[in-house]
Amino acid sequence: MTAATPWPAALAGSPVVAVIEQAIARQRLSHSLLLHGDDQETLAAVALAIADRLLNVPAASAAFPPDQHPDCFMLRPAGKMRQISADATRELIGKVQVSPAVAPRKVAILHEVDRMNTAAANVFLKTLEEPPAHTTLLLLTTRPYALLPTIRSRVLHFRFPAAAPATVAAGWTAWLDDYRGWLGRLTQGVSGKAAIADQVFTLYGLVARFGAVLDFATAEVWKQQREKLPPDLADDEQVAIETGIANGLRARLFAEIEAATRGFALPRLAAGDEGMRRAYPAAVEKLEHNVGLLRLNLNESAALEDFLLSSLRLWTQRG
């Protein structure tokens, strides 16, 4: 029976896919896999491709798309806090303990497994220590080192690069151009009340536009993703997915701000701008610090405003 779910086009034929396909063909695939990388959508596509090849086999009494298969179970974060609870984890474990319905085995896909709270992780650890018979557990995460070391040590690791370039948010290219232009004006020196006020107004304009770009991009990606979701997905799981999309886009945008800052600074460093040697590392350090605080629920507008205010000081006092 030929698998109906393809690998992501950018990964088809890659060494990591070849290893997994060979292990499936030999029936030697590990019972627990950790699929990690930079893009949750790519990881989900890989998990469905694996599930299809494990479930829709000649010995199965019927074939189904993996996301609708009666022997394929999903566990996702729920709610705005995007947590996987102990109760939800126990419910999943109960499902995989039951004999398969139409396939020779069962598959459980755990999306964003790093969102398990401590109680859920401890509950799940017991299942990893004594995995159910004829069951494959696929753990998906973009943050593998956020998992308990005891979980990481009991799964086989596969890393997948993003299968597609990051989504280009409407208005984002213009935002980055204006940000670089703002940095250029700061490095030329700012003096006088009018000039200072102009730079501050530009700063707050960048903050406001950033929020608008992120909101619009989140809505567009969510609209596309919602069409692919199972129809019986609970409301709190949908909220968690939409929040996850926003957080993923936010991380990408902040990463591109860092890249834009680096692209602005490096030619000037190469030209011997001594003031840049202090301003650039300090600015990047501040940005990385604020991005870290986003994981603790700091608002992205507050994080960006604080970074830009620090930049205003750093880039105008480079001597």
Q: How confident is the model at residue 1 (pLDDT cuts 50, 70, 90)?
A: very low
Q: How confident is the model at residue 319 (pLDDT cuts 50, 70, 90)?
A: low
Q: Which of 110, 136, 160 is the last residue of a domain?
A: 160
Q: Give yes or no: residues 87 and 177 share one domain.
A: no
Within a domain: 73: yes
Within a domain: 203: yes
Q: Name the DSSP class of 68.
A: G
pLDDT computed for residue 249 by the predictor: 84
Within a domain: 9: no
Mean pLDDT of 218-232: 78
Q: Give yes or no: residues 64 and 84 share one domain.
A: yes
Q: Give me 272's structure tokens.
A: 């011997």
Q: State pLDDT tens for residues 188-216.
A: 876 778 888 899 999 999 999 999 999 99
Q: How confident is the model at residue 311 (pLDDT cuts 50, 70, 90)?
A: very high
Q: Give yes or no: residues 133 and 262 share one domain.
A: no
Within a domain: 166: no
Q: State pLDDT tens for residues 235-278.
A: 777 777 778 788 888 888 998 999 999 999 999 888 888 888 88
Within a domain: 7: no
> Total structural domains in the chain?
2
The Cα-based distances of 298 to 237, 301, 308 in angstroms read 22, 9, 15
List the domain range (segments joined by +) for residue 244.
Answer: 172-316
Q: Give yes or no: residues 151 and 222 share one domain.
A: no
Within a domain: 165: no
Q: Which of 129, 160, 191 is the last residue of a domain?
A: 160
| Mean pLDDT over the full length of the chain | 88
Q: Give yes or no: residues 116 and 179 share one domain.
A: no
Which helix or strand (DSSP H or E) is residue 278 part of?
Answer: helix 274-294
Considering only residues 196 and 168, tell me which one the structure prediction assigns the higher pLDDT.
196
Rounded-to-integer distance, Cα 61 and Cα 77, Å: 32
Within a domain: 8: no
Q: State pLDDT tens for residues 89-140.
A: 999 999 999 999 999 999 999 999 999 999 999 999 999 988 888 999 999 9
pLDDT computed for residue 111 by the predictor: 94
pLDDT computed for residue 295 by the predictor: 75
CATH code assigned at 54: 3.40.50.300
Task: Output b/e per residue, 100-129; b: 16+ Cβ within 10 A.
Answer: beebebbbbbbbbbbbbeeebbebbeebbe
Q: Give yes or no: residues 224 and 130 share one domain.
A: no
Please enumerate in sequence order all residues whose Cβ is within 8 A of that of 316, keeping only pairs 6 or more positions apart, or say none: 186, 187, 189, 190
Q: Give yes or no: residues 239 and 139 share one domain.
A: no
Percentage of residues in the chain with pLDDT exceeding 90?
57
Displacement of CA 136 from its chain's centroid (Å): 23
Rounded-to-integer distance, Cα 113 and Cα 140, Å: 6
Are the C-beta atoms of residues 302 and 318 closer than 8 Å to each other?
no
Q: Give yes or no: residues 292 and 234 share one domain.
A: yes
Mean pLDDT of 41-46: 90
Q: Which of 131, 160, 189 is the last residue of a domain?
A: 160
